[in-house]
Structure 1
Amino acid sequence: MKKYFVTILFIFCIEAFAQTTLLWEPVRKDAQNKSTKLSDKENALKTYKLFRLNLELLQSKLEDTGSGNADQYVLIQLPDASGKLSSFKVVESSIMHPDLQNRYSSIRTYKGVGLKDPTATLRFSLSPLGFHALSSSGRRSALYIEPYSKNDANLHMVFEKDAINNTNLDFECLVETDLDNMEQRLSNNFNGAGDIDDQKLRKYILALSCTGEYAQIFAGSGDEIQQKTNVLAAMVTSINRVNEIFERDLGIRLEFVANNDQVIYLDPSSDPWNGPAVGPEQIEFSTISAETLDDVIGVNNYDVGHNFNDTTYDIGGLTFAFGSAGCIGCVCSAVSPDDFHKGRGWTGFNSTVGDPLFIDVVAHEFGHQFYGFHTMNTCNRTGYNTEVEPASGSSIMGYASSGICPPNVQNNADAHFNYVNIRDIGGFIKTGYNDYVNYDVGICDNSISIQNQPPTANAGNDYIIPTSTPFFLSGTSFDSDGLESLTYNWSQNDNEEAPSNSAPQSDWSQGPLYRSLLPSTSPIRYFPKLETVVAGNLSSAWEVTPSVARMLNFAFTVRDNGSGFLGDNGTGQVATDQMMVEVVDTGSSFEVTSQTHALTTWVPGSSQTITWNVAGTTTNGINADSVDILLSIDSGENFDIILASNVSNNGSAEITAPITPAASCRIMVKGTNHIFYAVNRIPFAINLYPTTDCYVYNSDENLNLDIPEGAGVEEFGDYLFQTIEVTEDVIISDVDFKINISHAWLGDLNIILEHPDGTQIVLLNELYCNNEDNLDITFDDESTLDVVCSNPTVGIYKPTVTPLSNLDGKSSLGTWTVGIRDYYNADAGVLNNFSLTFCTTLNSLGTPNIELDLIKLYPNPVQETLFIDTIREDISYTLFDLNGREIFNTSKKVIPMASLSNGVYIIKINAQSQSIYKRVIKK
């Protein structure tokens, strides 16, 4: 007891001390004063965390930062959307001209890289408007941190991009008004395409004006300088976040021009613009913006211009934000303010609530100015070669929104540029093109050489696969200084117009079938997602497996996310490569045909047969003579156990069951050195002792419901339907159905049982019986007997048409339906009663007789030494890896683990004739 007290006291003292030095302190939502919160912003989020930021401590830490100097970084912790803290190396990284920075010294911007997550990058700002951060990572969605309270500068909300619920917000890009002209001009003059791989940070001088209406959202009170400071802080916050994406994907940084404060207009009545930037006023608005920048900033003093305004419209319950680049690929061009000019871009938004969504629009319009075209394939299609994303698209240059471009993939854009945009923008900023006055458009930047070496990208070989067969693509890459920081993206690259404006369909012979996804840490992508196939489906809404012959083109994009360098040297480099998949009709799909029963349990060491439908994969140009057989012991999340490799692709193979105990296993058969694969339909177990729970739902004992007569001679009448509401939500392993009917002629009856998901089981259909009457039978797949004609017919029989096992693996929850109808109008019948029985299998590892609570392993995960705590002395221990190889056997209660590779191991604990298995993680 004394030792326990000292430990608790020590922990208490440490925590009490730490609380005085915490940079971030979690806060309960219900503890906040409702009058001080930004309620609109809160309502726009599905979920978020609240933290109190110690601003004084943060400012003190940041005083020690240098501008990109690796020796002058500071470590800053940031909370994530789950509440965990992650460390970043941070340096100051100004995005304002030094003169502007000096005049507005209260506005500072910083750049960071993850300490333990090398794929994580960060940009944040500190200003009179508070702390605003955006962080990208290959391990999560984009992370935002923003002020929560108007009256408490320290209170912040933390959320991920996909938590934004903008069902009432939409966005429309108006750049299409003269798109055909622009595309024709650019396609005739563009000099090439390229990756972001020449070790340069390209800085473009930005002139960003604003209308008086926009300024009034942020200006607050105070004198003109104080109001302009607040408005400039809002602008810097937005552009700093845009730079987080542009630096990572494009190697571009936007920096405010020295006299940018001269185009911040505080009074709507005296600014240069006369009205909203949509409708007939759109072209005038773009022209006035360009003319204003040329007159005030100077046409030769900036590279790209833009305007922020408050233009939105409420239409049918939706709030529309608007934007326009004014022209495409016109950075550096000064041809004419009313035609093809660097200063014609603008973005409209009227609230601080959706700042992340505002960034979507801003990044989208700047993407146009840097020669990025739309990626959505269905609406506002122009026929350019970038429309490679199904429906509305989901990357920055798509139209993901609340429905302006139906069908809508999602409600906001993912923070990344598609391969086609990186290709085009990369070529634009590296080689430019000549417009009709022979001016080099796109290459007026101030380029800085960086240390970061570019990665390589290898998409691998082209392949041929059967129709209706899932596949995966795996790329390779190398980076001499940033291998740990690489993220990967596979995207379909088919720009042909889809056959219809709908979600993709499996019978489309052209157009995109697979949506764009955020970069991740894996160079492998399954098409569709592996979890979709494990669930028994070949397609989801936005990832559709083709059922017809066609070509599929893919691009493999590798980002190095700055390779861990700080400041300017942390500018991203990007490499890409392409490959093709040809889909051919071989007459059937590749699929696993064994392990189809939910009650299957393998005995360790036993011989098991795996079967599959070859589906013409040894010929037809596919030429896969062998396959690999893999096992998952975690419900299909990872297929990391090899049961057999390079076995003949003849449809059957014998394997030896591993010793690894598991409750939910799946089999994958894949072509050796190929991309096609299949997964068995039903989970099974290894070395488990299954128990079964069953649930019985009975109707009233005396229903006495008349069955409608047939509509005529040998013509079915209407169904008599009865429903069963099942409240248990378990995975079905067996179903039996009992029914009692009085009827003069059993051969007339048709009986069905319908699962809540619509799956129908035909239990009885038109027996070849005569005048036998009355039925009191149980339908059970385990029966070997066919239904017989007798008077009465009683007993246990298998269904006459559809096996009940078709329901195995489904959830039991929901409304079940029984349907009975008559095939003849000469006699009638009565439903007396029925009952539904379904069972679920519960699996427990090992033999249940050893007292498990008395055998404990610690620590687990383990780094060096694993200790076994038990009072029993008659026990031995055998350690195996996941391939079943014995590592060592001992009776000691101390197991050395330091020399073993990191991973998962199985320890078999033996006691007399009994044994149990436990999992050990070595890290």
Structure 2
Amino acid sequence: MNPTNSPRQIQIIPVLLLLFASVVLLLLLLNGRQPGVTAAPEGAQSADSLWQDVDEALLRVAGERRIVPQAYRTVALNWDQLNSLLVNVPDSAAARTSEVILSLPLPDGGYGRFQLYETAVMHPDLAAKFPEIRTYAGLGLDDPTATARLDTTPHGFHAMILSANGRVFIDPLTTASTDLYQSYFASDFIPDLPADFAPDVVVEPEGAAEKPAEMSAVTSSGGTLRTYRLAVAATGEYTVYHGGTVPLGQAAIVTAINRVNGIYEREVAVTMQLIANNDSVVYTNGAADPYTNNNGFTMLDENQAVLDSVIGTANYDIGHVFSTGGGGVAWRGSVCGAGIKAQGVTGLTSPIGDPFYVDYVAHEMGHQFAANHTFNSVLGACGGGNRNASTAYEPGSASTIMGYAGICSADNLQSNSDDYFHAISFDEIIAFTTAGNGDNCDVPSATGNTPPTVEAGASYSIPLNTPFTLTGSATDPNGATLTYNWEQFDIGPAGLASTPSGDAPIFRSFPATNSPSRTFPKMSDIVNNTTTIGELLPTYARTMHFRLTVRDNQTPTGGVGLDSTTVTAVASTGPFLVTAPNTAVTWTGNTNQTVTWNVANTTAAPISCANVNIDLSTDGGYTYPYILVSNTPNDGSQSVLATNVSTSSARVRVSCANNIFFDISNANF
């Protein structure tokens, strides 16, 4: 029998617990709230001494919650411990030999360690004016695919982690506290768009765009880093949103650009540095500044006039203005161009967080570096002339930086953009920065990083409406841990993601993984007999092109390698289907059982699949460790010896022995 607490005990225990928790938290914050720098030996700090988990239910925090993820982890930061660590961080020249290791709290309760170096987001003269603003980057140690961007400013600490395991952000919990933070996955923060939200607008330059033939020759990047002088103005409304002073407005700009640089350096070997007098265009009074805050089109010309007058046309390479209205507007391919290079605008009512930095700032600057939209949908914001026919390589809303994720009605693939460029955007930006107008004002520097060498594999012919797996390979001379991204590379008529026609794309892009293979559609849909928007098997004859992009995720500059292959879906074939076992049958171990499948004309040319392999899964169809038979004739039936293993999650897979297509049984048995 469990003893029963008296009423007096029931009342006292929660009070004591609350008092104890409050004292612990107060001691934590008093111990580390001042941002003074103290000397300490180089090396790692204990995550337990730097970060402490906090029960938010016990807190009474002041300030506004501007970022409210659906799920997050609340932690307290010890500033003294952090500053004693950061005082020893080397600059980017010593990035790969840095001995400074910082642990960052992850949303799942663990920590990730990063090798730190300082980044030069600000010109040295600008940095000297704002010594309280510091920016850093990190290379993952526990997860070698991870890179991080961090800053310390009057707004507090900020971090962004880019990884094959997901994108993580660490931001202040409220506007009034620099001691309390939230660690969350980007996918868990879905902001509310304002009622008057409008999609971005691209202003096209006169003359022909970059020719696809010129772009197709590019197969890698990363050996050279291209640096551009960046001027970012702020409307008075933007600065007021971030605290109302020039230092606070400048700090918010630095956080944004440090994060955008983390993406651009990894993806296209481009970085941007804020000019020495950038603070001269950070305005604090919306009623007196030279901008029409809520009109993006008007601000294009206003920003050009302001930057040319205040900064000087010869003193910057790319200009932009941040506001709290007006949406996104940019002149495509304007970097380095006299009279147009300042024509980029990003304005949201809440200019903060991942959606602002990736979906808008990185997107609009992508236009300035000559990238077009990549979505093939015409629903919602994807309509109205926003689709670009020559680069509509992604189904639906698209999901990469130059897409419109979340604003294309029923064609939305997801709520927000992922933090990478589609292969066509890579082609456009690399062509512009290496052989176009973007090569006229950059400062190139050798990185010492050799990009991966990539092999996408042979071309294949497959039956209609049948799953398949593409597998490539890559080598990296620097020994980096590589990530792989397979993307369809076809354009066709505009239309819904669910009803493609002609050569329209039918497979969406997914973030890179550690595996050189991708199964079409994703294995979870095959196992569960479901369909994900943006993933459709070909139902009519067509040739599909696929691009394999491999990243080494190195810092300061990432190396990227690419290769292509084709898959032809053949008329009058398919679907290639397992027909038995296809229900919850019972197989007794070490007994003969019959597997049947629909050959579907796959033995005939050009598919020419003479033999198949039959394998067994015990985890519901995700992996197939048990070989039942190899290279048996593709005749539709085969007796196999059942593996003597106990499971209620068995599936059978029949796959062509010399091809990439397969099918699995529909139900566990």
Alignment of 1:231-242 (within 5 A): 231-242=249-260
Matched, 1:296 2:323: no
Give 2:133's aligned residue: 107
Give 2:208's aligned residue: 185
Amino acid of the residue matched to residue 324 of structure 2?
A: D
Q: In structure 2, the residue corresponding to 1:556 is in which secondary structure?
A: strand
When residues 597 and 475 of structure 1 are mapped into structure 2, their CA distance, relative to the original with a 3 A threshold, is same
Amino acid of the residue matched to residue 25 of structure 1?
A: Q
When residues 37 and 285 of structure 1 are mapped into structure 2, their CA distance, relative to the original with a 3 A threshold, is closer
Pick the aligned partner of 1:428 from 426, 432, 442: 432
Alpha-carbon displacement from aligned partner over 1:294-341 (angstroms, at most 9, x marks no partner):
1111111111110111115xxxxxxxxx1111x11121111x3xxxx1
Amino acid of the residue matched to residue 385 of structure 1?
A: S
When residues 665 and 464 of structure 1 are mapped into structure 2, their CA distance, relative to the original with a 3 A threshold, is same
When residues 153 and 301 of structure 1 are mapped into structure 2, their CA distance, relative to the original with a 3 A threshold, is same
Amino acid of the residue matched to residue 521 of structure 1?
A: N
Q: Give 1:168 deviation, angstroms.
A: 3.8
Q: In structure 2, the residue corresponding to 1:41 is in which secondary structure?
A: coil
Give 1:503's aligned residue: 497
Give 1:377's aligned residue: 376
Matched, 1:516 2:506: no
Q: In structure 2, the residue corresponding to 1:30 is in which secondary structure?
A: helix
When residues 20 and 192 of structure 1 are mapped into structure 2, their CA distance, relative to the original with a 3 A threshold, is closer
Q: In structure 2, the residue corresponding to 1:22 is in which secondary structure?
A: helix
CA contact (8 A) 1:560 1:573 kept: yes
Q: Give 1:508 deviation, angstroms.
A: 3.1
Give 2:479's aligned residue: 482
Pick the aligned partner of 1:635 from 620, 638, 643: 620
Give 1:547's aligned residue: 539
Pick the aligned partner of 1:161 from 186, 190, 205: 186
Q: In structure 2, the residue corresponding to 1:429 is in which secondary structure?
A: helix
CA distance in 2, matches of 1:468, 1:189: 30
CA distance in 2, matches of 1:22, 1:649: 63
CA distance in 1, matches of 2:537, 2:177: 52
Give 2:422's aligned residue: 418
Alignment of 1:710-729 (within 5 A): none
When residues 493 and 21 of structure 1 are mapped into structure 2, their CA distance, relative to the original with a 3 A threshold, is closer
Matched, 1:73 2:99: yes
Higher helix share: 2
Matched, 1:135 2:161: yes
When residues 323 and 66 of structure 1 are mapped into structure 2, their CA distance, relative to the original with a 3 A threshold, is same
Give 1:558's aligned residue: 550
CA contact (8 A) 2:191 2:355 kept: no
Q: Give 1:94 deviation, angstroms.
A: 2.0
Alignment of 1:891-902 (within 5 A): none
Amino acid of the residue matched to residue 555 of structure 1?
A: R
Alignment of 1:676-687 (within 5 A): 676-684=661-669
Q: Where does structure 2 lack aligned partners over 5 or more consecutive residues?
A: 1-26, 29-44, 379-384
When residues 164 and 189 of structure 1 are mapped into structure 2, their CA distance, relative to the original with a 3 A threshold, is closer
Amino acid of the residue matched to residue 180 of structure 2?
A: L
Q: Give 1:117 deviation, angstroms.
A: 0.8
Q: Give 1:19 deviation, angstroms.
A: 9.3
Give 2:460's aligned residue: 463
When residues 487 and 72 of structure 1 are mapped into structure 2, their CA distance, relative to the original with a 3 A threshold, is closer
CA contact (8 A) 1:65 1:90 kept: yes
Alpha-carbon displacement from aligned partner over 1:173-218 (angstroms, at most 9, x marks no partner):
4433x43x55x43247995452442511111110111111111111
CA contact (8 A) 1:331 1:441 kept: yes
Give 2:608's aligned residue: 623
CA distance in 2, matches of 1:274, 1:681: 59
When residues 430 and 195 of structure 1 are mapped into structure 2, their CA distance, relative to the original with a 3 A threshold, is farther
Pick the aligned partner of 2:57 from 30, 33, 51: 30
Q: Give 1:37 deviation, angstroms.
A: 5.3
TM-score of the two chains, using structure 1 as the length reference: 0.64
Amino acid of the residue matched to residue 508 of structure 1?
A: S
Q: Give 1:355 deviation, angstroms.
A: 4.7
CA distance in 2, matches of 1:479, 1:486: 8
Give 2:81's aligned residue: 57
CA distance in 2, matches of 1:558, 1:71: 24
CA contact (8 A) 2:614 2:628 kept: yes
CA contact (8 A) 1:65 1:74 kept: yes
CA contact (8 A) 2:488 2:508 kept: yes
Matched, 1:663 2:663: no
Give 1:228's aligned residue: 246
Amino acid of the residue matched to residue 268 of structure 1?
A: G
When residues 353 and 210 of structure 1 are mapped into structure 2, their CA distance, relative to the original with a 3 A threshold, is closer
When residues 275 and 190 of structure 1 are mapped into structure 2, their CA distance, relative to the original with a 3 A threshold, is farther
Higher strand share: 1
Amino acid of the residue matched to residue 365 of structure 1?
A: E
Between 1 and 2, higher relative CO (CA 8 Å, sep ≥ 6) is seen in 2
Q: In structure 1, the residue corresponding to 2:404 is in which secondary structure?
A: coil
CA contact (8 A) 2:158 2:170 kept: yes
Q: In structure 1, the residue corresponding to 2:107 is in which secondary structure?
A: coil
CA distance in 2, matches of 1:591, 1:523: 25
When residues 672 and 20 of structure 1 are mapped into structure 2, their CA distance, relative to the original with a 3 A threshold, is closer
CA contact (8 A) 1:324 1:346 kept: yes
Amino acid of the residue matched to residue 395 of structure 1?
A: T
CA distance in 1, matches of 2:354, 2:527: 38
Amino acid of the residue matched to residue 480 of structure 1?
A: P
Q: In structure 1, the residue corresponding to 2:337 is in which secondary structure?
A: coil
CA contact (8 A) 1:549 1:584 kept: yes
Q: In structure 2, the residue corresponding to 1:271 is in which secondary structure?
A: coil
Q: Give 1:607 deviation, angstroms.
A: 2.5
Pick the aligned partner of 1:306 from 294, 297, 320: 320
CA distance in 1, matches of 2:151, 2:572: 58
Q: In structure 2, the residue corresponding to 1:293 is in which secondary structure?
A: helix
Q: In structure 1, the residue corresponding to 2:80 is in which secondary structure?
A: helix
CA distance in 2, matches of 1:637, 1:145: 33
CA distance in 2, matches of 1:415, 1:186: 25
Matched, 1:245 2:242: no
Matched, 1:150 2:172: no
When residues 354 and 96 of structure 1 are mapped into structure 2, their CA distance, relative to the original with a 3 A threshold, is closer
Amino acid of the residue matched to residue 176 of structure 2?
A: N
Pick the aligned partner of 2:559 from 570, 573, 576: 573
Alpha-carbon displacement from aligned partner over 1:36-77 (angstroms, at most 9, x marks no partner):
2533422xx211111111121011111111002144331111
CA distance in 1, matches of 2:400, 2:246: 33
Give 2:21's aligned residue: none
Aligned length: 617
CA contact (8 A) 1:331 1:442 kept: no
CA contact (8 A) 1:508 1:546 kept: no
CA contact (8 A) 2:355 2:416 kept: no
Report % sequence identity: 35
Give 2:636's aligned residue: 651
